[in-house]
Structure 1
């Protein structure tokens, strides 16, 4: 969606508001923490930080998106399916709309789940990598397009 419409134009990046890149990154990492809490399976998350990327077609010094890639490793490989089922069940109860779910075209036929949270102007892609050693969920949270406050520039990290 564009920053002026009501969100019915799927496939476009929503306008997420005005923020510094640091504050926006903190907000996206907090959303990732909320996703971790929804998994409800014993395990650990990778320690990764959010980064800044450009908004396609917009001034890179004024507009930006935040992305936060991280992984979840269940305590036992048998719990990987449980973790993905839990997310598929719980996401819609917490403001997420699942827009895609099913195996990808890779040789491993990894299960992919893509969901959007219109209220928070973020999306998440979750890939169940059962054949990895160790097995994991690979999650990437991506924000809508932010604008920095007037007089500031995007801090790229």
Structure 2
């Protein structure tokens, strides 16, 4: 993500909090469609947070954490491999893929979409009591339109 940056975070444009949250949730839906395995996604809503070093009444980022529980635990690895191959075909750049530093060495994929100014981190949490994919999306830094203030939710 290359345009104007603040603390390494790209400028995502001008938007209301609600419209930006809707856009990030739409990106989550697109990623869900790429998983390619049967299962159930959590129904978490997007939220709004500040942009480090910027006026919190004017600048914000959107985050959308959610999870996916595959119908079969073995399908989680298939979904991760599918994301690794399919995301680049849809404008994503994979910036990291492999085991993380956790005790379980869970496979984690991190990807950026420069055009949409969104990053995603997907962790295959297949070991443990509740196997699932954990997905965390975060937008670049938005500015609200003139005369508006950031709506936090």
Please give the range of the TM-score, normalised by the shorter of the 2 chains: over 0.9
Find out whether 1:97 has 2:93 as its counterpart: yes
Gaps of 5+ in 2: none
Q: Which residue of structure 2 aligns with residue 121 of structure 1?
A: 117
Name which of 129, 133, 147 aligns with 1:133: 129
Give the distance between the partners of 2:4 and 2:42, measured in 1 at CA.
37
Q: Which residue of structure 1 aligns with residue 80 of structure 2?
A: 84
Query: Closer, same or farther in 2 for the Cα pair 1:88/1:57, shift >3 Å?
Result: same
Query: Closer, same or farther in 2 for the Cα pair 1:3/1:58, shift >3 Å?
Result: farther
User: What is the deviation of 1:78?
Assistant: 1.3
- Deviates most, 28-37 or 126-135: 126-135
Give the distance between the partners of 2:3 and 2:11, measured in 1 at CA.
5
Query: Closer, same or farther in 2 for the Cα pair 1:82/1:4, shift >3 Å?
Result: closer
Q: Which residue of structure 2 aligns with residue 22 of structure 1?
A: 18
Give the distance between the partners of 1:3 and 1:147, measured in 2 at CA.
14
Give the distance between the partners of 1:136 and 1:54, measured in 2 at CA.
28
Paired residues, number: 153
Task: Note the alpha carbon deviations across 1:12-61, whole angstroms, 9 max, x for none.
Answer: 11110100000100000000000000001001100100000110110000
Query: Closer, same or farther in 2 for the Cα pair 1:131/1:4, shift >3 Å?
Result: closer
Over aligned residues, Cα RMSD in angstroms? 1.6
User: What is the deviation of 1:68?
Assistant: 0.1
Contact 1:117 1:123 in 2 (8 A): yes
> Structure 1 length as normaliser, TM-score?
0.93
Give the distance between the partners of 1:3 and 1:43, measured in 2 at CA.
36
Give the distance between the partners of 2:146 and 2:110, measured in 1 at CA.
33
> Structure 2 length as normaliser, TM-score?
0.95
Find out whether 1:143 has 2:139 as its counterpart: yes
Name which of 44, 55, 64 aligns with 1:48: 44
Runs of at least 4 residues of structure 1 off by over 6 A?
none
